[in-house]
């Protein structure tokens, strides 16, 4: 950098100073050290502020999705303001950055169209909220529990403790299944009985099996529905309702109850069989 320009930005060189390079290196070296300390403090303060915002929002039972998003925005805003202040401290005009950022953003937009589509999809997910942190969803062919929704990706934990990081554009452009959206869910257990069993008796036995499951709700009313006549069995669907947190336990208990009651009544659950008839005359 030209020494004359440095002299204009810095205070007047004290009388008697002969080595201008030593003066300017010490002058700007101290400023650089101050900026380094300031950035370290800003990094710590931003993390501390984000933690305060996160804990405060959780204390008032604020939405977990927006809690994580807002706390991250607070942190990066503090770091950005600190960086701009450091530039101003060196005499660099920050007002001219708007035009530079505009041109830079246009070039980046052409180079990172996929990334920007993820950003736009993330913004739409945060606005319309088809799911939130903690929901069990099936998105982009992946089933799991939502851990975090960011601007570019959504993080999902599977039930065998794997984490998927899915681009938001792949989610927003496809079908989104929110499994835990409603407070209650229907539990379906499909079962087949032999053709020799009496239909009315079978229905009574299946309804008795329903009554033994404590996790089933009375409203909506459970039912044992005759689905159809299969190739080797009379097909039934046992349908009950349970709270979403009790879904897994209710289904396991219902499957067990159906099997126990059918065995107790000596009603067979058939399996596919094939009868081969040999024509003696063709031998």
Residue-wise pLDDT for 260-277, tens only, equals 999 999 999 988 777 787
Grouping H, G, I as helix, E, B as strand and the rest as coil, residue 159 is coil
pLDDT value of residue 95 = 60
Whether the CB-CB separation of 77 and 49 falls below 8 Å is answered with no
Give the whole-angstrom CA distance, residue 226 versus residue 160: 35
Task: Output the pLDDT for position 258.
Answer: 96
Mind listing the pLDDT tens digit for each residue in 150-161?
888 999 999 999
Q: DSSP class of residue 132?
A: -
Please tell me whether residue 154 adopts helix, strand or coil conformation: strand
- pLDDT at position 152 is 87
- How far is 174 from 152, CA to CA, in rounded Å? 16
- pLDDT at residue number 92: 64
pLDDT per position as a tens digit, 248-263: 999 999 999 999 999 9
For domain 184-264, the CATH architecture is: 2-Layer Sandwich (3.30)
By mean pLDDT, which of 112-116, 200-204, 213-217, 224-228 is the weakest? 112-116
Task: Tell me the domain boundaries of the chain.
Answer: 19-91, 130-178, 184-264
Identify which has the larger pLDDT, 53 or 238: 238
Least confident of 25-29, 79-83, 158-162, 195-199: 25-29
Report the chain's mean pLDDT, rounded to a whole number: 83
Residue 19, pLDDT > 90, answer: no
pLDDT above 90 covers a percentage of the chain that reads 47
Residues 270 and 210: beta-carbon distance below 8 Å: no
Look up the pTM and report it: 0.60
Q: Is the Cβ–Cβ distance between 35 and 87 less than 8 Å?
A: no
Buried b (16+ CB within 10 A) or exposed e, 133-154: bebbbebbeeebbbebbbbebb
Segment 69-87 mean pLDDT: 82
How confident is the model over 167-221, as pLDDT tens digits? 999 999 899 999 999 999 999 999 999 999 999 999 999 999 999 999 999 999 9
Residue that the structure tokens 């003066």 belong to? 23
Structure tokens at 182: 């409603």
**pLDDT over threshold 50, residue 10:** no
- Selected from 3.30.450.190, 2.60.40.1730, 2.60.120.10, 2.30.30.60, the CATH number assigned to the domain covering 130-178 reads 2.30.30.60
Average the pLDDT over 22-27 and give the result. 58
Q: What is the pLDDT of residue 111?
A: 57
Mean pLDDT of 158-166: 95
- Name the band, by pLDDT with cuts 50, 70 and 90, for residue 77: confident
Cα four-point dihedral sign 249, 252, 255, 259: negative
pLDDT at 53: 86
Please provide the distance, in angstroms rounded to a whole number, between the alpha carbons at the two ends of the chain: 106
Distance CA 58, CA 190 (A): 42
SS3 223: strand
B/e letters for 6-35, b = 16+ CB within 10 Å, e = fewer, are beeeeeeeeeeeeeeeebbeeebeeeeeeb
């Amino acid at each position: 950098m030209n020494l004359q320009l440095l002299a204009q930005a810095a205070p007047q060189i004290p009388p008697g100073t002969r080595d201008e390079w030593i003066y300017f290196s010490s002058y700007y070296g101290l400023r650089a050290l101050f900026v380094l300390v300031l950035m370290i403090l800003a990094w710590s303060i931003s993390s501390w502020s984000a933690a305060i915002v996160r804990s405060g929002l959780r204390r008032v039972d604020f939405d977990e999705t927006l809690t994580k998003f807002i706390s991250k925005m607070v942190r990066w805003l503090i770091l950005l303001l600190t960086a701009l202040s450091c530039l101003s401290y060196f005499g660099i005009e920050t007002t001219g950055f708007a035009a530079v950022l505009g041109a830079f953003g246009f070039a980046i937009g052409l180079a990172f169209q996929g990334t920007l589509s993820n950003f736009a999809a993330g913004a739409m997910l945060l606005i319309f909220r088809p799911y939130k942190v903690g929901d069990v969803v099936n998105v982009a062919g992946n089933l799991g529990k939502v851990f975090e929704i960011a601007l570019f990706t959504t993080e999902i934990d599977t039930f065998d403790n794997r984490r998927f990081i899915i681009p938001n554009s792949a989610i927003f452009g496809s079908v989104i299944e929110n499994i835990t959206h409603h407070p209650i869910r229907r539990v379906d257990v499909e079962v087949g009985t032999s053709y020799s069993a009496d239909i009315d008796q079978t229905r009574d036995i299946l309804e008795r099996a329903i009554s033994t499951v404590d996790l089933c709700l009375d409203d909506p009313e459970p039912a044992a529905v005759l689905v159809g006549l299969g190739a080797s069995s009379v097909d039934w669907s046992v349908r009950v309702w349970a709270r979403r947190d009790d879904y897994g336990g209710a289904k396991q208990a219902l499957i067990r109850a159906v099997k126990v009651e059918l065995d107790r009544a000596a009603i067979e659950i058939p399996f596919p069989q094939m009868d081969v008839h040999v024509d003696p005359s063709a031998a």
